[in-house]
Amino acid sequence: MIPVRVMEKARLVRLLILDVDGVLTDGKLFFDYQGNEYKSFHARDGHGMKMLQQTGVDIAVISGRQSPIVSMRMQSLGISHLYQNQEDKREAFAALLDALQLTSDEIAYVGDDLMDLPIMTRVGLAIAVADANEAVSACADWCTTQNGGCGAVREVCDLILQAQDNFESILNQYVA
């Protein structure tokens, strides 16, 4: 059962910001001998993000690393707010607030590690994935039941859809 105060905070969300490694992926980094990087993204996370965008909730990604694979995946999902190579994520967060004219109460952030804390402490709804660092989980308003890269983002999308009374209309697109 999701606490009422979490649902109330989720009702206000107009922007969902996601970390990449450990949130959209399981956090493992794979490289071949030529230095090519490989990542695995969960299809249900991507579908949840597309459904959330259908309801008018914007999505942004802020990552501490730079990866062409992340660029490709976000482009395929229609996510234009992509900030990579952000060791200090506060600058990207400030740019998003300014560009989208949002208040911090209208933003949810999903993180898993210490570098996510500066943003998690500034948003209306702070979320940690199930396998997040203990300090991150302690800072979160809510923790997913799924680990990063294993459907945690879909859980978050479904939570926001339900809180904003949009889940049933999305569901009806598939069962009607």
CATH number of the CATH domain containing 169: 3.40.50.1000
pLDDT value, residue 165: 97
Handedness of CA 81, 7, 150, 52 (dihedral sign): negative
Q: Which residue has the tokens 């994935």?
A: 129
Reduced to 3 states, what is the DSSP secondary structure of residue 65? Answer: coil
What is the distance between the alpha carbons of residues 114 and 102, in angstroms, rounded to a whole number?
Answer: 24
pLDDT value, residue 12: 98
Residue ranges for the chain with pLDDT beneath 70 = 176
Cβ contacts of residue 152 below 8 Å, gap of 6+?
23, 45, 110, 129, 130, 144, 146
Q: What total of structural domains would you count in the chain?
A: 1
- Structural domain range at position 34: 4-175
pLDDT value, residue 1: 83
pLDDT value, residue 108: 98
pLDDT value, residue 132: 98
Decide if 61 contacts 20 (C-beta within 8 A): yes
pLDDT value, residue 78: 97
Decide if 112 contacts 128 (C-beta within 8 A): yes
